[in-house]
Structure 1
Amino acid sequence: MKNLLKSSILILLLLTINLGIAQVNPGESNPISTDSYNLYKPNNTEAVLILFGGFPENGEIIETEFPITDMALEEEVAVIYMNYNRKLWLEESQKAALANDLKVLFETNNLPKKKIFIGGLSSGGNIAILIGNYLAENSNLNLEPTGVFVVDSPIDLAALYKITEENIKKDFSEASVGESTFIHNYFKSQLGNPNEEIKPYEDYSVFTHETKNYQNIEDLKNTKLRFYSEPDKEWWKKNMGVDYDQMNAFHLKRLTKFLQEQDYKDVEYITSENKGYRSNGERHPHSWSIVNKEDLLRWILEE
C-alpha cells in the first residue's frame, strides 16, 4: 500500500512538471524565453520592468551587464530583457509593430498593466523613450508606462551628427574615428545632413535642441522620467578625445532642464561617480552599472 501511494505521488509530480503547472518561486532564474525576449515572472507581479539594450545587445547580454533579475523577483517585479536592438530611432510603422508585440507579450503571459516601466542603455534608451511616448499617446493599447528611464543615451540625433563631424576632423584615435565615421555615414544616408534639412532629425529624435523640438516626448508629460549618466570628463577626454559638450551626459542634462521648464512634473537627472564598469571589469562610464539597482526598484514600487 505504501509503495502504491509513493508511486501515485511520483506520477502526480511528474504530470505536474510536464504540464508546466509547477510555480516558479521569486528569486529563481527560470525565464520564459522566445526569439523576442526573456521574461522572468514572480508568482505575484506588482510591476513590470522592460529593458532595451544598446546597439549590439540582446536580452542575454543585457542581463549579464545589468543582473537585476533576482533582486526584482524578490520585490515582485517582473523583468523583460528584450532582443530588440540595432536601432537609434523608430519609424511610425516600427512603433506600431513593437507596441503590438508588447501587447501580445503582456496578454500571453498574463502580466498586469498597472505599473509598467521601460528603460534602456544608449540606443536602447532612445527606443525606450520613443515607444514609451507612443504607448502613452495610444491609450487604447492599455500599456501606458508609469515610468521611463534612459542610461547615457544619445537623445539628440542632430547634435550627434555634428559631434561625429568634429570627431572625424580631430582624428583622436582609430576607434573614435571609426565609430564616428559609421554613425556619420549612416545618418547621412538615412536622414540627410541636418545642416541642410533638420526636419528628418526632428521627426525621429527624442529631442532636437537646435529647434527646441520635443514632439517625440510630448505625451510623457505625466510620466515619471529618469535620465542617468556618469559625466567623467577626464575619462572621456583621455580615452575618446571627447569634450563635455559632446558627451551624452551634457545633452541629457540639457533635456532635463528643458522639460522642467515645460512643466514636466517628475523628471530627474541622476549622475554617478566611478560606477561605470562592464561585466568583464573594464572601466567605462557608458555602462548599465551606473544605475543603482536598489534605488531603481524603489522608484518603480513607490506610490
Structure 2
Amino acid sequence: MKKFLLIVSIITIFSSCKNDVKEVDVESESIPEKTSLEIKNDNYELHTPTNNIRATLILFGGYPESVEDIKREFKILETAIDHNISVLLMNYNKKLWLGKNELEGLAEQFQNIFETHKLPTDNFYVGGFSSGGNMALLISDFMTKENTNLIPKGVFIVDSPIDLAALYNTAQKNIERDSLNATIAESTWLLETLSKEFGNPNINISNYEAFSVYTAKTNNIDNIEHLKNTKIRLYTEPDSLWWKEKTMAKYDEMNAYYIKSLYESLNTSEFSNVEYIPTKNKGYRSDGERNPHSWSIIDKENLINWMLNEK
C-alpha cells in the first residue's frame, strides 16, 4: 500500500474463475433475526441478506486491490447487511480504462450474478476507489446506454484518476522533475503504457477521449453522457499541503483537481443529480497511516442513506 504515497496520478495506478461456489450462513449475534449469505469465488465475493433485500452495492477496488483489500480498507459490510443491502465485491482490477469487450464482459458477468443469486435489479449502485472509480462510471454508462434490465440507480467514485491525458502529462512532469526516486519507475511505466496504447495526448487527444472518463483539455464527457439521470457522487480529499510535502505534487496534478472540474462540467451539461463531496482530514488507511487517497473519506452511514433515499 506504500505505492499510494506517490503523486496522485501514479498512486491510482498503484492505488479469473472457479466453478465451485461456497455458501456459508452467517448469523449475527447482535441481531439474531438477521441472516446473510457469504458467497465466494475467484471473480467476486457476495454478502447478501437472505430476504428483503432493499438494494445492492457493487464495489471495485483500486489498481492492485483484491476483495480482501477492499474489505480491510472499507468496512461497509456490517452496516450494509444491517440495512438489508447486498454487497458485491469485485476481484476485477488493474484497469484504468475499459474497452468494448471488457464492458460487454462485465455487463454479462453482472447479469449472471444477479440471476444466479436472485438479486433484485430495481435498486443497485456501483462505486469504486481510485482506478476502480473509472470502471464504476464506465460500466454504469455502458449498461445504461444498452438499456439492459440492469441499470444502476447511482454511481460514485473515490479520488479516481478520471483524466488519462492528465495522467500522461503528470507522469512526464514527474520524470522531468526527478524529485522522488520512488516515483520514477512507476511514472516511466505509466508514460510508456499510455504512449503505447494511445500515443501522446498533446499530439492526438482523440485517442484519450475515446477511453477516458473525462478529458479536461477538451471538456469531453462522452463516455459518461448516458448518466444524466443517474445519481452521481464524486468523493475526494483535496489536501494540497499533504501531497506537496509527500510528493511535491501541485494541485493541478491531483485527482481532486480533475474531479472538481468534472463536477463543474456535469453541472453545466444538464446532469440532474451530481454531488461533489470534498472531505477534510478523513483519509486514513486501515493501519492508521494518514493518506487522503483512501476509502475512508466516505461516510458509510451517509452513503447508505443516499442509496435508500433516506437523506
Deviation (angstroms), 1:265: 1.2
Alignment check: 8 A CA contact 1:31 1:38 kept: yes
| Cα offsets for 1:139-170 (capped at 9, x unmatched) | 1x211010000000010101111111111111
- 1:186 maps onto 2:193 in alignment: yes
Equivalent residue, structure 2, for 1:272: 279
- 1:52 maps onto 2:60 in alignment: yes
- 1:263 maps onto 2:274 in alignment: no
- 1:120 maps onto 2:134 in alignment: no
| Cα offsets for 1:71-121 (capped at 9, x unmatched) | 000011100110000000000011000100000000000000111100001
Equivalent residue, structure 2, for 1:254: 261
| Cα offsets for 1:232-254 (capped at 9, x unmatched) | 11100000110111100010000
* Structure 1 counterpart of 2:104, from 90, 93, 96: 96
* Structure 1 counterpart of 2:227, from 212, 220, 231: 220
Deviation (angstroms), 1:24: 5.3
1:210 corresponds to which letter in structure 2? K
* Structure 1 counterpart of 2:118, from 110, 135, 141: 110
1:255 corresponds to which letter in structure 2? L
Structural mapping, 1:134-173, within 5 Å: 134-139=142-147, 141-173=148-180
Alignment check: 8 A CA contact 2:26 2:35 kept: no
- 1:40 maps onto 2:47 in alignment: yes
Deviation (angstroms), 1:175: 2.0
- 4+ runs of 1 displaced by more than 3 Å? 20-30
Aligned residues: 284
* Structure 2 counterpart of 1:175, from 162, 182, 198: 182
Equivalent residue, structure 2, for 1:238: 245
* Structure 2 counterpart of 1:65, from 44, 60, 73: 73
Alpha carbons of structure 1 residues 39 and 221: separation in structure 2 relative to 1, 3 Å = same
Distance 2:244 2:35 in 1: 42
Equivalent residue, structure 1, for 2:300: 293
Alignment check: 8 A CA contact 1:145 1:223 kept: yes
Distance 1:158 1:94 in 2: 21
More helix by share: 1
Classify the secondary structure of the residue corresponding to 2:275: strand
Alignment check: 8 A CA contact 1:29 1:40 kept: yes
- 1:131 maps onto 2:139 in alignment: yes
Deviation (angstroms), 1:176: 2.4
Structure 1: gaps spanning 5 or more residues: 1-19
Equivalent residue, structure 1, for 2:4: none
Rg larger in 1 or in 2? Answer: 1
Distance 1:265 1:286 in 2: 27
Equivalent residue, structure 2, for 1:200: 207
Alpha carbons of structure 1 residues 237 and 101: separation in structure 2 relative to 1, 3 Å = same
Bigger RCO (CA 8 Å, 6+ sep): 2
Distance 1:21 1:148 in 2: 29
Distance 2:236 2:88 in 1: 22
Once structures 1 and 2 are overlaid, which stretch shifts more, 122-131 or 30-39? 30-39
RMSD: 1.8
1:217 corresponds to which letter in structure 2? I
1:80 corresponds to which letter in structure 2? L
* Structure 1 counterpart of 2:91, from 74, 79, 83: 83
Deviation (angstroms), 1:179: 2.3
Distance 2:225 2:25 in 1: 44
2:226 corresponds to which letter in structure 1? D
Classify the secondary structure of the residue corresponding to 2:126: strand
Alignment check: 8 A CA contact 2:42 2:91 kept: yes
TM-score by length of 1: 0.90
TM-score by length of 2: 0.88
Deviation (angstroms), 1:22: 6.3
Alignment check: 8 A CA contact 1:48 1:117 kept: yes
